[in-house]
Structure formats: structure tokens, C-alpha cells
Amino acid sequence: MIREQLALMGFDPALAVSLQRGEQAAVELAAIPDSETLRAADAAITRSDQHDDGATATIIAAQVAPMATHFPDGSEPDLAHASLAELFAFCFPQGEPVLKGEALARA
């Protein structure tokens, strides 16, 4: 989601180091052999936040909102050092995608 939005906004997502780290972690996790124990643990983790009545989303939004205030003036994150949260705040400051450049013209 962040990768696609950065590209739409005219940025090279390959420069976002935090995205690269996430991709590397996904590769490493994919290399771990699956087992019934791991599937059960995954199921327990993914189900645990399904009944929080939006509390998790509210917490995340509260943490990202202050970061988004840094970008309305046209400033941009340092892609080499920005966290995923900062990139999310830049791309989706109000929970909606920011349209710039060609994406804005198509909207």
C-alpha cells in the first residue's frame, strides 16, 4: 500500500529503506518451514485483534496523526531513514491517499 502510493506520488519506493527491511523480513519468514504449531500460533495472533472494536486502529491513528502534521507544508520524508509509520503518515495523512502529480491529474 505504501509502496504503491509512493510511486503514485512520484517517489521511487526502492529508496525507502524501511520497505526494503520489511521485504527482507518477509523473505526470511517465508523460508521457515510451516508446521501445525506455527499455523495455530498465526491463527491465534491474527484472531486476537479482530474483536477489539477498533481499539488497535485508534491507537495507530493516534500515533501516526502527529507525524502527518510535518508534511502539509510540502516537506517530504527522508526515504533512507523514514520509519514505516512516517511513510504511512506521509502517504495517508488523513487516512486517505495523497494525490500528487499525475495521480492528481487523473483524479
Residue 3, judged by CB atoms within 10 A of its CB (0-12, 13-18, 19+), counts as middle
Q: Is the pLDDT of residue 48 over 90?
A: no
Average confidence score pLDDT of the chain = 80
Percent of the chain with pLDDT strictly greater than 70: 79
Of the listed ranges 18-22, 50-54, 61-65, 71-75, the least confidently predicted one is 50-54
Residue 62, pLDDT score: 76
Residue 106, pLDDT score: 43
